[in-house]
């Protein structure tokens, strides 16, 4: 059974929200923050398990299969079935490998790409575009790679253009498009090509999600930008300034 969950907001969340468009102001802000600070576990709450993670030690992730759960670190290889048996059935594993045309043990960074896509409501916020632009600035998309950026909303697009981010994307070789769903999914209109391999910042990589039998690898905007430059799946940390 899936149960709803709330992560208690902290000062980082409040600082982010304070002063933003549509955020409460004045006394309304004080009342809202007072209420938001009550959204946490009761002192006597019981947890079946507590897990602590050091996010700094998590490598940039990229999917190898046809589900968001079929994922490894960018520096890893396509896993064997034994490595993923706890979360994948044998049928799902074999089908994903066949669809993606991959073999176990192949390093992810050895996979050449045909296209790179930064977009969707998930990973094309202004902060995402800033981080991707930092990777792209002064660099060029690899020959033969189709690169597209679609801001997450009209307001994000305007802010990005006000900051000159669109100039950086265009100079690098990305198409700079109007906001919208675009090629987050294939709905009979524009799509990536038959069996093309795409690195994408979207949130789903199901079969034919972005085109007819298109092979989509989900990744962060930074990883998409680094891969577009390299012409293959690439670790953005090597290009981070």
Residues 115 and 40 placed together within one structural domain of the fold: no
Collapsed DSSP state (helix, strand, coil) of residue 121: coil
Q: What is the pLDDT of residue 71?
A: 97
Domain span at residue 226? 108-238
In a domain, 68, yes or no: no
In a domain, 76, yes or no: no
Q: CA angle, corner 219, sides to 217 and 79, nearest 5?
A: 60
In a domain, 38, yes or no: yes
Final residue before a domain boundary, out of 52, 71, 87: 52
In a domain, 100, yes or no: no
Residues 142 and 213 placed together within one structural domain of the fold: yes
In a domain, 67, yes or no: no
Q: What is the pLDDT of residue 96?
A: 98
Q: What is the pLDDT of residue 134?
A: 97
Six-digit token string for 53: 């993670």
The beta-strand segments (E) located in 144-186 are 146-149, 175-176
Residues 120 and 30 placed together within one structural domain of the fold: no
Average pLDDT per consecutive 10 residues, the chain (241 residues; last block may be shorter): 76 95 95 94 87 90 97 98 96 98 98 96 94 98 97 95 98 95 83 96 95 96 98 94 62
DSSP-derived secondary structure letter, 216: E
Residues 114 and 230 placed together within one structural domain of the fold: yes
Residues 116 and 41 placed together within one structural domain of the fold: no
Final residue before a domain boundary, out of 11, 34, 52: 52
Q: Tokens 């960074």 identify what position? A: 109
In contact, 230 and 142? CB cutoff 8 Å: yes
Six-digit token string for 160: 């990005």
Residues 130 and 224 placed together within one structural domain of the fold: yes
Residue 234 CB partners (closer than 8 Å, separation 6+): 74, 109, 223, 226, 227
In a domain, 66, yes or no: no
- Short-list 35, 24, 215, CA closest to 117: 215
Q: What is the pLDDT of residue 50?
A: 86
In a domain, 73, yes or no: no
Residue 19 CB partners (closer than 8 Å, separation 6+): none
* Structural domain total, the chain: 2
In contact, 165 and 131? CB cutoff 8 Å: no
Residues 112 and 230 placed together within one structural domain of the fold: yes
Residues 144 and 223 placed together within one structural domain of the fold: yes
Q: Give the DSSP H or E segment for 63.
A: strand 61-63
Q: What is the pLDDT of residue 64?
A: 98
Residues 18 and 117 placed together within one structural domain of the fold: no
In a domain, 193, yes or no: yes
Q: 112: domain CATH number?
A: 3.30.499.10
Residues 17 and 113 placed together within one structural domain of the fold: no
How many CA atoms, within 13 angstroms, populate the side-chain half-sphere of residue 181?
11
Residues 123 and 234 placed together within one structural domain of the fold: yes
Residues 117 and 228 placed together within one structural domain of the fold: yes
């Amino acid at each position: 059974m899936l149960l709803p969950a709330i992560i208690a907001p902290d000062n980082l969340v409040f600082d982010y929200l304070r002063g933003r468009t549509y955020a409460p102001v004045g006394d309304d802000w004080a009342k809202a923050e007072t209420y938001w600070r009550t959204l946490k576990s009761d002192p006597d709450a019981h947890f079946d398990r507590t897990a602590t993670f050091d996010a700094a030690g998590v490598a940039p992730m990229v999917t190898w299969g046809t589900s968001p759960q079929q994922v490894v670190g960018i520096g890893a290889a396509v896993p064997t079935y034994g490595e993923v048996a706890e979360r994948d059935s044998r049928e799902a594993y074999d089908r994903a490998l066949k669809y993606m045309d991959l073999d176990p043990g192949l390093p992810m960074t050895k996979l050449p790409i045909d296209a790179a896509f930064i977009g969707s409501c998930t990973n094309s916020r202004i902060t995402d575009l800033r981080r991707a632009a930092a990777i792209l600035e002064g660099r060029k998309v690899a020959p033969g790679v189709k690169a597209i950026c679609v801001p997450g909303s009209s307001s994000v697009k305007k802010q990005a253009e006000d900051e000159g981010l669109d100039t950086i994307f265009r100079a690098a070789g990305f198409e700079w498009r109007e906001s919208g769903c675009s090629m987050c999914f294939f709905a009979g209109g524009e799509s990536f090509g038959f069996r093309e391999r795409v690195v994408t910042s979207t949130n789903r990589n199901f079969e034919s999600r972005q085109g007819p039998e298109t092979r989509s690898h989900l990744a962060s905007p930074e990883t998409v930008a680094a891969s577009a430059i390299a012409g293959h799946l690439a670790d953005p940390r090597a290009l981070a300034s």
